[in-house]
Structure 1
Amino acid sequence: MSSPNAPETKLMKAVLEPLLNDFQHWFSRSITLLEAETIDFLGEDEQQNLLARVREAQQLVSASQALFQATDSQAGVDVAVVMSWHQLVHECWNVAIRFRQQQAQAAPDKLTEDN
């Protein structure tokens, strides 16, 4: 195991730590959306499946953060795993964007109906 002051360790801390924090942030936001809203363009099963995948990924990120902390920034995460998390975040972003667009389109319709 290399020294906590080794260049590799500093690089891991500078890159991996904020990346894991970003994943936590986006997975948390996605969970909030998926739990609070009915996403019409997703079937109920599809929405529940996405929610389950996001929760599982969030748990894996938490475990990675704990391991990273416990090993004094010596543990890493396989690139394939990071890429799968990135793809899931991207999928969640697409759902959120489409959901917000539908809400925005419905809002003027609602104003017209109310008048």
Structure 2
Amino acid sequence: MSTEQPTEKELLKTVLEPLLEDFQYWFERSRNLLESEQMSFFSHQEQAQLLERIIRCQKEVQTSQMLFKATDGSAGIDSKMLLPWHQLVAECWNVAQKWRETKNQSDRILPES
């Protein structure tokens, strides 16, 4: 069993790089949903505001990814930046779940042709 600890750069590459990719994945999925569907449980303004937050965070994550790559994986990200992204992803998951539940309920109500 090796007792050698990974370097900070190796740790950042192992943890941070996939985390940033995950943020981009979930923000893109949520953005696509919000741009293609009107959520009955949101007003137009609420949905637009959530979409704006997602787009802003996508840009922040993209900037962080570019910085990470430009520094060859040497630049980290302050945890103060990560927390709001995590919270927004969790909010996006909740919206997607609520959307699926709402859609399933309306599918059950509609008679089959």
**TM-score band w.r.t. shorter chain:** over 0.9
Deviations 1:10-57 (A, max 9, x none): 000000000000000000000000000000111110000000000000
Between the aligned partners of 1:70 and 1:92, the Cα distance in structure 2 is 29
The residue that corresponds to 2:3 in the other structure is none
The residue that corresponds to 2:87 in the other structure is 87
Between the aligned partners of 1:80 and 1:12, the Cα distance in structure 2 is 16
Are 1:109 and 2:89 an aligned pair? no
Between the aligned partners of 2:108 and 2:42, the Cα distance in structure 1 is 23
User: 1:25-40 alignment to 2 at 5 Å?
Assistant: 25-40=25-40
Between the aligned partners of 2:16 and 2:52, the Cα distance in structure 1 is 24
TM-score, length-scaled by structure 1: 0.91
Are 1:54 and 2:54 an aligned pair? yes
The residue that corresponds to 2:74 in the other structure is 74
The residue that corresponds to 1:22 in the other structure is 22
Aligned length, in residue pairs: 108
CA drift at 1:108: 1.2
Between the aligned partners of 2:84 and 2:108, the Cα distance in structure 1 is 37
Following superposition, which runs of at least 4 residues in structure 1 exceed 3 angstroms of deviation?
A: none
Indicate the RMSD between aligned Cα atoms, in angstroms. 1.1
Q: Which amino acid aligns with 1:27?
A: F
TM-score, length-scaled by structure 2: 0.92
Q: Unaligned stretches of 5+ in structure 1? A: 1-5
Between the aligned partners of 2:37 and 2:59, the Cα distance in structure 1 is 22
Q: Unaligned stretches of 5+ in structure 2? A: 1-5
Task: Give aligned-pair identity as a percent.
Answer: 47
Deviations 1:48-98 (A, max 9, x none): 000000000000000000000000101111101101000001111111100
